[in-house]
Amino acid sequence: MSNISDKDKKDWQNFLSNKEKLPNKDFIKSNKKNFKTTEIDLHGFTLDEANKEVEKFIFNSHKNGFNKLRIVTGKGLHSDNEKNPYVSKDLSILRYSVPEYIKTNVELMNLITEFKEADIQEGGEGAFYIFLKKKKL
């Protein structure tokens, strides 16, 4: 017990004598929302096909009451565009083009509250989340 400083001993005594209760974390309500989630994987789609599928996916998801969407685009690491010197590697990757398509579509943006990169365990840079507004009755 000689490793404990006098200040720490005093602080501990003050803590023990204090009548203030610490909040019990087990009883604190979580402010996490319950999300109704769905996802789409765009691997293998051309840019045009992916944009059409995503548009349909967002409208249908909103209509069916989903509020969190996960869109998997991939990172473009295995794309055949690497072999074609006339195709821009940056602009052809779904990872960048699909979110840009969504952000420029006013009808889709009217349904969306937030865009966010996916958590690392759910795709990280190769996926993103879209959070939808509540469906109006």
SS3 27: coil
For the chain, 137 residues long, give each residue's pLDDT as a single digit of tens.
568 888 988 888 888 888 777 666 666 555 556 889 999 999 888 889 999 999 999 999 999 999 999 999 887 655 555 555 444 444 447 888 899 999 999 999 999 999 998 888 888 888 999 999 987 76
23-43 as b/e: b if 16+ CB within 10 A? eeeeeeeeeeeeeeeebbebe
Domains along the chain? 37-132 (3.30.1370.110)
Instruction: Indicate whether this model's pTM tops 0.75.
Output: no
